[in-house]
C-alpha cells in the first residue's frame, strides 16, 4: 500500500488523516458529511490514485448511523474500504498510554493499518440492505403490538373481564369486537340481530351468519352476568377502543411487510433453500435473510456462529474454570429468530415431514448425559447454520437424505 486514509466518524462530520507509504501524515482535516465535502474528498482520492497508480486504502470505525454517509459515498464511487468493528479497532489500537481524541483515533487507525492484516469490507447487494430494513421495521411493529396488547388487557379487566375467555385475544374478531363493544352495557343496548350483523360486517376475516349468531348469544349472556369496575362513560372505554384499532392496523402492516419481503425474495436462491426446510415459512425465511444478509460473505460456519453470538466462550485461570457458555456478542435479533424457529420445528413434530434438527434435539435429550433444553436448542441452532451455509453456498434444496453429510460434518 502507498497511501492510507483513515476516518474517525462522529455525528455529521469526520476527522480525516492521510498517511503516505513512509507512514508520515500528509494531511489532517475535518470532513463534513455534505455533498460539497464528499466531492472534495473524491477529487483528493482521484489525485492520489493517479499519483500512486493504485487507489489508497480507506479505513474507518463503524459508528452506527453516523458512519452510513461515509460508507454510502465510498460505495457510490466503487472504492474498496475497511469498516472496523469498534471492539476490534479498540483492541488493535490499545497501548499503555494513549490520549483519546477524534484526531488521535484517526491517526491510530492509519498507523495500525500498516501493521495489521485487515480484510476488506464485503459490499452486499442493496437487496440485503432492504431486507434488513424491512425486517427491523417488522420487529418494531411487533414490539409495539405486544405493548398495546398489554395495555389493552389491563383496561379490559376493568371494562369487560369475561371477553378474553369468550373470544381468542389474538384474533381479528376480538380486536373488532373491542372496537364495537368495549363495555357490556354498550353490548346490552343492542339486540342479538344487530350484534350478529355488526360482528359479520366489521370482521376483517370471513365470518358466517350462523357463527356470528352463536357468538352474539354467548356474548349477550356474558354481558348480562358481567360486573365491570369501570363505567361505560369512562374515558378508558375510548382508550381501549383506540388500542384495538391501532393493533388491527399494525397487524395489517406486518402482513404487508411480509408480502413485500416475499415479493422481493421469490427469485433468490437462499429464499428457496430456506423454504425447503420443514418448519420454515415465508416470514421466518425472510427474517433470516434480513438478519443474516448475504451468507456468502462468510468463509465458514464458525464465522456465522460468531456473527450470531452462539460461539462458545471459555474461561479458565489456574484452578478457576467456569462452565462454557455462548458468547452473546453477536446479532441478538438473529439469535431470537433462530431460537423460536427451532421451537416451532419441535412443536410441529409429528406432522409427517422429517427434520434432522428435531432428530438432533431429541438425540441430545436422550443420550447418557442428556442436555438441558436451552443447551439442546442452541446446539440445533448451530447445526442449522452449518446446514444452511452448506446448502445456500452450493445451491442445494434441503431434503432428509442430502442434508445428512452436512449434518455429520
**Separation CA 81–CA 57 (nearest Å):** 6
Cell of 402: 442430502
Domain check: are 376 and 288 in the same one? yes
- The pLDDT score that the predictor gives to residue 151 is 96
For residues 191-206, give the mean pLDDT. 78
- The pLDDT score that the predictor gives to residue 96 is 47
Domain check: are 376 and 275 in the same one? yes
Give rounded-to-5 percent helix, strand, coil for the chain.
60, 10, 30
Domain check: are 111 and 179 in the same one? no
Lowest mean pLDDT among 127-141, 224-238, 267-281, 388-402: 388-402
Q: Is the pLDDT of residue 401 over 60?
A: yes
Mean pLDDT score of the chain: 88
Query: Comparing 206 with 227, which gets the higher pLDDT?
Result: 227
Q: Which of 137, 130, 125 is nearest to 257 (CA)?
A: 137
Q: In the listed set 123, 156, 176, which residue is the last one of a domain according to the structure?
A: 123
Structure confidence by residue, pLDDT tens digits, 351-362: 767 788 998 999
For residues 57-85, give the mean pLDDT. 93
Domain check: are 66 and 144 in the same one? no
For residues 110-121, give the mean pLDDT. 88
For residues 240-267, give the mean pLDDT. 96
CATH number of the domain where residue 115 is located: 3.30.420.140
Q: In the listed set 231, 262, 293, which residue is the last one of a domain according to the structure?
A: 262
- The pLDDT score that the predictor gives to residue 313 is 61
Q: In the listed set 104, 123, 142, which residue is the last one of a domain according to the structure?
A: 123
Domain check: are 300 and 397 in the same one? yes
The pLDDT-based confidence of 118 (bands split at 50, 70, 90) is: confident
**pTM, full prediction:** 0.85
Structure confidence by residue, pLDDT tens digits, 311-354: 766 555 566 555 556 666 788 999 999 999 999 999 887 676 77
Burial class of 18 by CB neighbour count within 10 A (0 to 12, 13 to 18, 19+): buried
- The pLDDT score that the predictor gives to residue 319 is 60
How many Å separate Cα 357 from the centre of its chain? 22
For residues 125-148, give the mean pLDDT. 96
Tally of structural domains, the chain: 3
Domain check: are 195 and 253 in the same one? yes
Q: Is the pLDDT of residue 127 over 70?
A: yes
**Separation CA 358–CA 379 (nearest Å):** 11
Q: Is the pLDDT of residue 402 over 80?
A: no
Q: Is the pLDDT of residue 53 over 80?
A: yes
CB atoms within 10 A of CB 357: 22
Q: Phi and psi for 351 in degrees, rounded to 5?
A: -90, 5
Domain check: are 98 and 189 in the same one? no
Q: How many residues does the chain have?
A: 409
Domain check: are 162 and 278 in the same one? no
For the chain, what is the largest distance between any 2 Cα atoms, rounded to a whole number of angstroms?
A: 89
Q: What is the DSSP string of 88-125?
A: HHHHHT--SS----HHHHHHHHHHHHHHS--PPPP---
For residues 92-106, give the mean pLDDT. 73
For residues 109-137, give the mean pLDDT. 91
3-class SS of residue 9: strand
Domain check: are 8 and 113 in the same one? yes
Structure confidence by residue, pLDDT tens digits, 276-292: 999 899 999 999 999 99
Contact between residue 358 and residue 377 where contact means Cβ atoms under 8 Å apart: no
CATH number of the domain where residue 157 is located: 1.10.287.4070
| Residues spanned by the domain of 23 | 4-123
- The pLDDT score that the predictor gives to residue 97 is 53
**Separation CA 272–CA 327 (nearest Å):** 30
Domain check: are 80 and 94 in the same one? yes
DSSP symbol at 269: H
DSSP symbol at 370: P
Query: Comparing 367 with 267, which gets the higher pLDDT?
Result: 267
First to last CA, the chain: 39
For residues 85-105, give the mean pLDDT. 75
Domain check: are 313 and 250 in the same one? no
Domain check: are 244 and 287 in the same one? no
For residues 28-52, give the mean pLDDT. 94
The pLDDT-based confidence of 89 (bands split at 50, 70, 90) is: confident
The pLDDT-based confidence of 256 (bands split at 50, 70, 90) is: very high
Q: Half-sphere exposure of residue 62, counting CA atoms within 13 Å on the CB side?
A: 10
DSSP symbol at 394: H
Amino acid at each position: 500500500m502507498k497511501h492510507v486514509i483513515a476516518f474517525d466518524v462522529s455525528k455529521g462530520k469526520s476527522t480525516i488523516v492521510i498517511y503516505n507509504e513512509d507512514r508520515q501524515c500528509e494531511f489532517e482535516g475535518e470532513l463534513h458529511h455534505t455533498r460539497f465535502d464528499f466531492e472534495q474528498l473524491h477529487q483528493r482520492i482521484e489525485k492520489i490514485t493517479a499519483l500512486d497508480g493504485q487507489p489508497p486504502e480507506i479505513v474507518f470505525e463503524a459508528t452506527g448511523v453516523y458512519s452510513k454517509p461515509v460508507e454510502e459515498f465510498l460505495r457510490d464511487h466503487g472504492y474498496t474500504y475497511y469498516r472496523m468493528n469498534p471492539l476490534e479497532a479498540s483492541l488493535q489500537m490499545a497501548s499503555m498510554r494513549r490520549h483519546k481524541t477524534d484526531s488521535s483515533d484517526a491517526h491510530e487507525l492509519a498507523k495500525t493499518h500498516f501493521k495489521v492484516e485487515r480484510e476488506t469490507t464485503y459490499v452486499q447487494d442493496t437487496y440485503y440492505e432492504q431486507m434488513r430494513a424491512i425486517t427491523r421495521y417488522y420487529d418494531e411493529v411487533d414490539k409495539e403490538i405486544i405493548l398495546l396488547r398489554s395495555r389493552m388487557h389491563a383496561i379490559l379487566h376493568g371494562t369487560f373481564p369475561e371477553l378474553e375467555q369468550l373470544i381468542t385475544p389474538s384474533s381479528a374478531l376480538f380486536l373488532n369486537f373491542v372496537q364495537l363493544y368495549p363495555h357490556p352495557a354498550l353490548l346490552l343496548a343492542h339486540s342479538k340481530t344487530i350484534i350478529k350483523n355488526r360482528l359479520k360486517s366489521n370482521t376483517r376475516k370471513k365470518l358466517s351468519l350462523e357463527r356470528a349468531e352463536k357468538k352474539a348469544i354467548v356474548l349477550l349472556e356474558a354481558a348480562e352476568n358481567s360486573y365491570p369496575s369501570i363505567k361505560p362513560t369512562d374515558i378508558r372505554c375510548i382508550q381501549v377502543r383506540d388500542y384495538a384499532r391501532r393493533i388491527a392496523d399494525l397487524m395489517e402492516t406486518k402482513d404487508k411487510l411480509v408480502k413485500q419481503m416475499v415479493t422481493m425474495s421469490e427469485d433468490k436462491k437462499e429464499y428457496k433453500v430456506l423454504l425447503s426446510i420443514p418448519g420454515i415459512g415465508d416470514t421466518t425465511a425472510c427474517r433470516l435473510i434480513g438478519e443474516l444478509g448475504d451468507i456468502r460473505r462468510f468463509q465458514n460456519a464458525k464465522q456465522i456462529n460468531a456473527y450470531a453470538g452462539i460461539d462458545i466462550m471459555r474461561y479458565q485461570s489456574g484452578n478457576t474454570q467456569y462452565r462454557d457458555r455462548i458468547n452473546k456478542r453477536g446479532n441478538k435479533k438473529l439469535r431470537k429468530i433462530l431460537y423460536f424457529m427451532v421451537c416451532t420445528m419441535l412443536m410441529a413434530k409429528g406432522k409427517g415431514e422429517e427434520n434432522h434438527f428435531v432428530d438432533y434435539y431429541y438425540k441430545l435429550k436422550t443420550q447418557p448425559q442428556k442436555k438441558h433444553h436451552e443447551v439442546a436448542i442452541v446446539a440445533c441452532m448451530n447445526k442449522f447454520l452449518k446446514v444452511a451455509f452448506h446448502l445456500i453456498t452450493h445451491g442445494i434444496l434441503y431434503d432428509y437424505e442430502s442434508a445428512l453429510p452436512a449434518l455429520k460434518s
